[in-house]
Amino acid sequence: MKKSLLDYILRNRLPLTVFVIISSFTLTYFVSRPERDGVGYTPVQPINYSHKLHAGDMKIDCKYCHTNVDKSRFAGVPAVATCMNCHTVARKDRPEIIKLTQYYRDGIPLPWKRIHKVPDYAYFNHSVHVNKGIDCTACHGEITQMEKVGQMNSFTMGSCLNCHRNAHDKFPELKDQIKKGPEYCSACHR
Ligand code: HEC
Ligand code: HEC
Ligand code: HEC
Ligand code: HEC
Ligand code: HEC
């Protein structure tokens, strides 16, 4: 039975032709599809933490938690200890806070899912942007309105360059204090 099927496939061109057509379509799709871009990525996080509540309603400063954003390349995500400054008292009977406290007691860092990420071969630096007066919202959207953070903007090379070229049009109010962003390759590929 098997043998005769193989015979059939080898003698008839049709199945082979169909196979070749399907695989070339598949190949074309994978080669030419748009690059992966995290826009819209809004993962479920291990603790149901809300920026809208903390940074929006309660107006806690971004830098209270993202302590390195104006000092270094990375903004940084706070340790559980930062949350416990308040949550040893605030809402400590709530299920999410009990979970939070458990991580703290066990000394386990919270496994927050990383949302925004440029590939390792590209160099991005927060402090050079933030210290020039570029607001978080220019790149991250209205975080203070988000119950759950998601990626709002594209961080492809094209979108970095788009802002770099048009920085003076995008930030007319900063015109006197910022240069345009660099376009030469080694600025971002070191
Ligand atoms: C009380 C602490 C706290 C404050 C205040 C806070 N954040 Fe966060 N932020 C976190 C935590 C915890 C995470 C990781 C969990 C998450 O994504 O919700 C995070 C995640 C983020 C992310 C996504 C990080 C990634 O993985 O890509 C961005 C962007 C961000 N915050 C921006 C802001 C901005 C802008 C403000 C001020 C308007 C702010 N945050 C205020 C604690 C805080
Ligand atoms: C400056 C104080 C402060 C800090 C720092 C803080 N919180 Fe809160 N958080 C509060 C207060 C107050 C509430 C209750 C607000 C309300 O319900 O009106 C709250 C509410 C919450 C809730 C909702 C609890 C519920 O079910 O009612 C969660 C979850 C939470 N916080 C997680 C976190 C995490 C995670 C961090 C650290 C990244 C953090 N908080 C840092 C003050 C803080
Ligand atoms: C010019 C665009 C831009 C601005 C302005 C900006 N970010 Fe980001 N942010 C990014 C990019 C790009 C990434 C991914 C960086 C990477 O993978 O190294 C990122 C990642 C993050 C992360 C997660 C990774 C990390 O760096 O620890 C946090 C948290 C964050 N940003 C917070 C902020 C806060 C808070 C502000 C404002 C004070 C801000 N960002 C301003 C572009 C920006
Ligand atoms: C919203 C606008 C905006 C976006 C988006 C943006 N940049 Fe910039 N960037 C600027 C501006 C403006 C400057 C120049 C600031 C100055 O020197 O006055 C700059 C400067 C830089 C510098 C030079 C820093 C130095 O040491 O002088 C690098 C590197 C850089 N950006 C990388 C990136 C990368 C990588 C991305 C994308 C992931 C990106 N930027 C996205 C506006 C932006
Ligand atoms: C403002 C920052 C910036 C500058 C300037 C820049 N790049 Fe990039 N480049 C990036 C970022 C961010 C990525 C990763 C995101 C992506 O794949 O688009 C990237 C990705 C790439 C890739 C991989 C693309 C892919 O499709 O996988 C190549 C190749 C590259 N850059 C070459 C260059 C060359 C050549 C120059 C100079 C003409 C240059 N870049 C200038 C930020 C920059």
Mean pLDDT of 154-183: 95
The number of the ligand nearest the C-alpha atom of 86 reads 2
**pLDDT in the model for residue 15:** 67
CB of 84 sitting under 6 A from ligand 3: no
Own/partner long-range contacts of 124-131 (Cβ < 8 Å, ≥24 apart): 124/73, 124/155, 124/160, 124/188, 125/72, 125/73, 126/68, 126/69, 126/70, 126/72, 126/73, 126/74, 126/75, 127/68, 127/69, 127/70, 127/71, 127/72, 127/73, 130/69, 130/70, 131/70
pLDDT above 70 coverage of the chain, percent: 84
Distance (angstroms) between ligand 1 centre and the Cα of 70 equals 14
Q: Cβ neighbours of residue 160 under 8 Å, at least 6 residues apart? A: 124, 181, 188
CB of 190 sitting under 6 A from ligand 4: no
What is the spatial distance between Cα 143 and Cα 149, in angstroms, rounded to a whole number?
A: 7
**pLDDT in the model for residue 13:** 75
**pLDDT in the model for residue 16:** 66
Distance (angstroms) between ligand 1 centre and the Cα of 74 equals 12
pLDDT range class, residue 183, cuts 50, 70, 90: very high
Distance (angstroms) between ligand 5 centre and the Cα of 118 equals 10
Average pLDDT of the chain? 90
Mean pLDDT of 21-49: 72
pLDDT range class, residue 12, cuts 50, 70, 90: confident
**pLDDT in the model for residue 106:** 97
Q: Output the residue whose Cα is nearest ligand 3's atom 14.
A: 117
Ligand 5 site residues (CB inside 6 A) read 35, 118-119, 122, 156-157, 160-161, 164, 181-183, 185, 187-189
Q: Are 123 and 30 in contact (CB under 8 A)?
A: no
Please state which of the ranges 28-32, 81-85, 97-101, 127-131 shows the lowest mean pLDDT.
28-32
pLDDT range class, residue 97, cuts 50, 70, 90: very high
Q: Are 157 and 122 in contact (CB under 8 A)?
A: yes
**pLDDT in the model for residue 38:** 86
Other beta carbons within 10 Å of 91: 12
Q: Output the residue whose Cα is nearest ligand 5's atom 20.
A: 157
Q: Output the residue whose Cα is nearest ligand 4's atom 9.
A: 181
